Structure 1
């Protein structure tokens, strides 16, 4: 079986990516793109249009990813939603303002920041270990369905971080080392159960005002 070229994209900017007291925990909460995010997706569309053809387009079913995929894919669609590409489920705190979560769940917030427990989960949510297993199963299934093809996969920072963490031997709880920016490109060559990182967090298609780290 020939390796697949997987072009991973983090969705464009949303209200959940803005710093501030009202910023929500954006796991499965369905936060749409804002104006900046739609501009980023359009810039991504122009970048992809100037490159090799895409054989398939997959996306997380959350609207911020689906909208990014539908704008960026252009004529390469249709977009195929895949549940395995969702962001981590934050359970009972999903959608709550981050400042409220810090106040109500201070010990859990500190444990989250330590990035030391692979089985950490928010109440009613998904653990980092479970997230990694889900992400790897999804990406392996997509690659297996498209041997030797170029596939666009629009998803979330947590998903991309878990996939790259697995490839580099980083524990699931370490969510920060491979955190890409909004609307960035990360490319992998994938065969069977393993991949090789070719490019990470490429934002050359974005303007300097939208290329801020972690945006």
Structure 2
């Protein structure tokens, strides 16, 4: 019980630091706010902040990471890497109608969009996740040459597009429930296209 309480307190501290950082970055700009200022506003020591977030960039970007390689590596016995990824993003789409901090999500996107450094960080994060996914796919399906790398690139591009459209809808005032419903449909579309190509589109001529 004590261990569970400690974990909850750690999560509360982590969330508070992240929320304070986003508020300051949104108000004054990412480059204008120092880590010291974030720590002071969150009521923690600088060393404590770095325990949760190893760098200033992590204050914003940790929440946008999605370990697709771990999804492939940790899939159920008999489940294909592709099916594991599809099921993961189905689950994320279902969460879109749950208790999501829409305002916080929009603020994070706004902060990232306004900072060249953070945009570059997002690109670097996506590239790193893509290479890790390619490695995991290569281990799951050895002897397929370049296929794992191409598959990883396609999955990463599709997921990035789904996220961008979802965030755009929320920023335009689309209700969360509706945005989540559309995301669920588009996850299926994206993975149908990944699995079957253009032939999965009704009316597409071969």
TM-score for both structures, normalised by structure 2: 0.28
In our comparison, the structure showing a higher alpha carbon Rg is: 2
TM-score for both structures, normalised by structure 1: 0.27
Q: Which has the higher contact order (CA 8 A, sep 6+)?
A: 1
Which structure dedicates a bigger proportion of its chain to strand? 1
Which structure dedicates a bigger proportion of its chain to helix? 2
